[in-house]
Amino acid sequence: MTRKSPPKRITIHDVASDAGVSFSAVSKVLRDAYGVSDALRARVNESIAKLGYTPNTAARGMRGKTHVIGVIFPDMRNPYFADVLSGISAALERTTYQMVQGIVQHSTEAALVQSMMNMQLDGLIIVGSISTSEELSGVAARLPLVVDGHHLPNATSFDTVNNDDAESGRIAVRHLVEQGYRKIAMLSLETHNGSVIERREAGYEEAMRAAGLGRHIEIARAPQSLRDIQVVTQSLIEKRVEAIFCWTDYVALEAMSVAGSLGLSIPRDVAIVGHDNTMYCGFEQNSLTSLDQSGEQSGLQAARLLIERIEGRQKAEHFLIHPRLVARRSSAAPA
Amino acid sequence: MTRKSPPKRITIHDVASDAGVSFSAVSKVLRDAYGVSDALRARVNESIAKLGYTPNTAARGMRGKTHVIGVIFPDMRNPYFADVLSGISAALERTTYQMVQGIVQHSTEAALVQSMMNMQLDGLIIVGSISTSEELSGVAARLPLVVDGHHLPNATSFDTVNNDDAESGRIAVRHLVEQGYRKIAMLSLETHNGSVIERREAGYEEAMRAAGLGRHIEIARAPQSLRDIQVVTQSLIEKRVEAIFCWTDYVALEAMSVAGSLGLSIPRDVAIVGHDNTMYCGFEQNSLTSLDQSGEQSGLQAARLLIERIEGRQKAEHFLIHPRLVARRSSAAPA
DNA sequence: TGTTGTCCGTACAACGTTGTACAAAATTGT
DNA sequence: ACAATTTTGTACAACGTTGTACGGACAACA
């Protein structure tokens, strides 16, 4: 409709002249600073509502806080992250903080962090970081930081939230052993700069040894590509493993697919356990046993910690979530 | 490690004094404006690299462009959006533009748009918008806008990218008819403010009539919740439909799950077709026939249009993508 | 009535850029 | 050698906030 009209932005000055006060007074109301009468406050708020004023984040960034936090996700394909996001949203609901996301797709985590710092965001939650402890400390020196999904319990300058991943590995193995499986392999991730997968592997090995199955320990690693996962799964199957514990659900679903293509039946020929208990696990055709690390809870805690930190906390906190097994048909006892 | 050191931000002034020039000169280099000698440019660029300077986006937002665009997604659960994001990333790769995402979870689309405007972003791509044409025109009056997944071919103030959704509906029906199915139902979405689902329904109806199956037209609508989808699917099955065309893949997978739970086999008892051809379709246990609307292509075009618009194009463009059927076992001809 | 505080509201200097206006220097033409 | 022109670099006023400094009004106390 409108060709190229000049849609003037409503500023604090417009509000001030509408309310008949100085622009500084409006600023005071916005920051609810000391030294404004109730009458003035009411008048200003009325004008704000009437004009539909919203503060300019860019201008705020030049001076104090922007009231915006950034959340960085490693990818958008894994529906687990949607749960984390829900948790963060829920925690932000009753606060004045807004949120923007950055998703590591083509760009790098470091570039995204830089970009968000340049926007002067008030704090950052990095989910599934692949950065080193040093890099993260560098970030934390410049703005409040919470890392979700990277075990760094000795970090002093930022907080972390994590699933007890060693426990995940142990639970998976114990469950499969109880169900009667012995030759239990793990299908892991090839390159993992985070410490999450290491711990799952460690938990897996520990439980295998504890069950007297040390000789059956077998960890196969594949990169994230579906093709590679197929190849590695196939080689595990050829080795006649009885069960496969996969580092995340979609890998488990792919493993299931490979087994199916080879004419094998699950769990009779091979049992499968996944991780994250994403929505696809519950579908009848998958019926995938999985470890639930409650992404929602994870996000909630991360946001809570970040806000505390923005508001002044200095001492680091490290929150651990206890995983819970959700058993389904894919790991039922063989008949 | 560091307690509360003052990590001074490196500004244009620091670069200027390092290079021994005025700060305005540095700004000129950054904007590559007219009137800088190659010598000065080189010197400045050297200092920039040496100091690791990056421009402050907030400050840029106060004056010209931020070189950041915003992308708004309706949710993070549907892996289709990951493809769209890939396309956008790819298009931005060789440009100077950065990107941040906003995901409509607890907050509203309008709130996210407002928030991104307040950050003074250079442009916006809204994917799967539920806003009205008027609301979108309002946004477009204030900044360059591209809408992906909302048919508004008469919009003059913003661009759109869409799948030919009527064609999707027609293709799905024609395919099922060819395979020998007659009682073909559609499982649609209950509340759809976008025009995408309407068109799919229209295409479905049109093709049904064209095939002389008008009397078998049956559109069932369910909200996004899994529980509701189950109930609606079950009622379709009780009506003994032979095939179900679902508006998106995860609904199709859920329908498949319901059928399986009822002891039915696919496609013998009921055929299923999904939409978006997401990664889960290819898994053997699903083997779901689906319509591919190439999210990657969609994102690529949206980003291209946005950049053109940021750089001055006024005339609206509307890009249409042609869907392609990927046939799998879920719609094979009954034996 | 003068003095001392409180309270409320205003003035104004940042913040780090962009882009316009202008001065100085270098180059060209005569 | 001197004016005219072009090229190169600098100065500075925005942009919309925050937060500190300050002034004026009014009440309380002597």
CATH of the domain at A269: 3.40.50.2300
Residue B280 sits at the chain A interface (C-beta within 8 Å): yes
Which token pair is B146? 């591209």
Count chain A–chain B contacts defined by CB atoms under 8 A. Answer: 181
Sheet strands side by side (includes A271-275): A219-222, A184-189, A243-246, A271-275, A289-292, A324-326
Provide the residue-wise pLDDT of chain B in tens; the chain has 335 residues: 433 445 788 999 999 999 999 999 999 999 988 888 999 999 999 999 999 999 999 999 999 799 999 999 999 999 999 999 999 999 999 899 999 999 998 889 999 999 999 999 999 999 999 999 999 999 999 999 999 999 999 999 999 999 999 999 999 999 999 999 999 999 999 987 779 999 999 999 999 999 999 999 999 999 999 999 999 999 999 999 999 999 999 999 999 999 999 999 999 999 999 999 999 999 999 999 999 999 999 999 999 999 999 999 999 999 999 999 999 999 999 86
User: Which positions in chain A touch B58 (Cβ < 8 Å)?
Assistant: 57-62, 66, 118-120
Could B282 and A257 be called an inter-chain contact, meaning their C-beta atoms sit closer than 8 Å?
A: yes
The answer on pLDDT for A4 being more than 70 is no
Which token pair is B76? 């993070």
| Structural domain includes residue B61 | no
| Structural domain includes residue B6 | no
The answer on pLDDT for A7 being more than 60 is yes
| Structural domain includes residue A217 | yes
Nucleotide nearest B38 (Cα, C1'): D8
| Cβ < 7 Å from nucleic strand C | A 21-25, 27-28, 35-37, 39-40, 62-63; B 9, 11-13, 23-24, 27-28, 30-31, 33, 53, 55-56, 59-60, 62-65
Q: Rounded distance, CA B244 to CA A52, Å?
A: 47
* pLDDT top residue among A174 and B194: A174
Give residue A266's Cα distance to chain centre: 30
Q: Whole-number Å distance, CA B95 to C1' C22?
A: 34
| Structural domain includes residue B202 | yes
Say which of A57, A68, A257 has its CB closest to residue B283.
A257
Chain A residues 109-138 with CB within 8 Å of chain B: 111, 114-116, 118-120, 137
Could A58 and B86 be called an inter-chain contact, meaning their C-beta atoms sit closer than 8 Å?
A: no
Quick: pLDDT tens for A71-124: 999 999 999 999 999 999 999 998 999 999 999 988 899 999 999 999 999 999
**Rg for chain B, CA atoms, rounded:** 25
Domain, as residue range, for A87: 68-163+295-321
Q: Whole-number Å distance, CA A35 to C1' C4?
A: 20
Give residue B150's Cα distance to chain centre: 10
Identify from B100, B109, B266 which residue to disrupt to test chain A contact, counting A C-beta atoms within 10 A and taking the largest count: B100
Answer yes or no: do A171 and A289 share one domain. yes
Answer yes or no: do A237 and A314 share one domain. no
Q: How would you classify residue A259: left for phi > 0, otherwise alpha for psi between -120 and 50, otherwise beta?
A: alpha
Each residue of B55-94: b (16+ CB within 10 Å) or e?
bbbbbbbeeebbbbbbbbbbbbbbbbbbbbbbbbbebbee
Beta bridge partners of A68: A98
Nearest chain A Cα distance for residue B307, angstroms? 17
Q: Rounded distance, CA A290 to CA B176, Å?
A: 35
| Structural domain includes residue B2 | no
Answer yes or no: do B133 and B46 share one domain. no
Nearest to B267 by CA among B196, B195, B331: B331
User: Which positions in chain A touch B314 (Cβ < 8 Å)?
Assistant: 3-4
Q: Rounded distance, CA B299 to CA A62, Å?
A: 32
Could B285 and A282 be called an inter-chain contact, meaning their C-beta atoms sit closer than 8 Å?
A: no
Answer yes or no: do A178 and A221 share one domain. yes
Residue A98 sits at the chain B interface (C-beta within 8 Å): yes
Could B58 and A57 be called an inter-chain contact, meaning their C-beta atoms sit closer than 8 Å?
A: yes
In chain B, which residue's Cα lies nearest the Cα of A99? B102
Nucleotide nearest B12 (Cα, C1'): C16
Q: Rounded distance, CA B258 to CA B251, Å?
A: 10
User: Contact at 8 Å (CB) between A307 and A293?
Assistant: no
Quick: pLDDT tens for A130-142: 999 999 999 999 9
Q: Rounded distance, CA B59 to CA B65, Å?
A: 10
Question: Which helix (H) or strand (E) covers residue B182, if one does?
Answer: none
Answer yes or no: do A157 and A299 share one domain. yes
Answer yes or no: do A31 and A87 share one domain. no
Answer yes or no: do B187 and B287 share one domain. yes
Answer yes or no: do B307 and B290 share one domain. no
What does the pLDDT read at residue B6? Answer: 57
Question: Which helix (H) or strand (E) covers residue B74, if one does?
Answer: none
Which SS3 state, helix, strand or coil, does residue B289 take?
strand
* Domain total of chain B: 3
Quick: pLDDT tens for A287-321: 999 999 999 999 999 999 999 999 999 999 999 99
CATH number at residue A45: 1.10.260.40
| Structural domain includes residue A188 | yes
Mean pLDDT of chain A: 94
Nucleotide nearest B37 (Cα, C1'): D8
| Structural domain includes residue A1 | no
Answer yes or no: do A157 and A91 share one domain. yes
Q: Whole-number Å distance, CA A22 to C1' C1?
A: 34
Answer yes or no: do B228 and B152 share one domain. no
Could B285 and A93 be called an inter-chain contact, meaning their C-beta atoms sit closer than 8 Å?
A: no
Give residue B140's Cα distance to chain centre: 18
Could B250 and A279 be called an inter-chain contact, meaning their C-beta atoms sit closer than 8 Å?
A: yes
Identify from B283, B300, B314 which residue to disrupt to test chain A contact, counting A C-beta atoms within 10 A and taking the largest count: B283
Q: Name the amino acid, one letter, at A202.
A: A
Quick: pLDDT tens for A260-271: 999 999 999 999
Q: Whole-number Å distance, CA A235 to C1' C21?
A: 73
CA distances in angstroms from A244 to A117, A294, B6, B318, listed in the order given: 42, 22, 50, 48
Q: How would you classify residue A287: left for phi > 0, otherwise alpha for psi between -120 and 50, otherwise beta?
A: left
Give residue B323's Cα distance to chain centre: 15
Three-state SS letters, chain A? CCCCCCCCCCCHHHHHHHHCCCHHHHHHHHCCCCCCCHHHHHHHHHHHHHHCCCCCHHHHHHCCCCCEEEEEECCCCCCHHHHHHHHHHHHHCCCCCEEEEEECCCCCHHHHHHHHHHCCCCEEEEECCCCCHHHHHHHHCCCCEEEECCCCCCCCCCEEEEECHHHHHHHHHHHHHHCCCCCEEEEEECCCCCCHHHHHHHHHHHHHHHCCCHHHCCEEEECCCHHHHHHHHHHHHHCCCCEEEECCHHHHHHHHHHHHHCCCCCCCCCEEEEECCCHHHHCCCCCCEEEECCHHHHHHHHHHHHHHHHCCCCCCCEEEECCEEECCHHHCCCC
Could A58 and B118 be called an inter-chain contact, meaning their C-beta atoms sit closer than 8 Å?
A: yes
Answer yes or no: do A185 and A285 share one domain. yes
| Structural domain includes residue A61 | no
Which token pair is A17? 């002249």
Answer yes or no: do A181 and A281 share one domain. yes
What does the pLDDT read at residue A6? Answer: 57
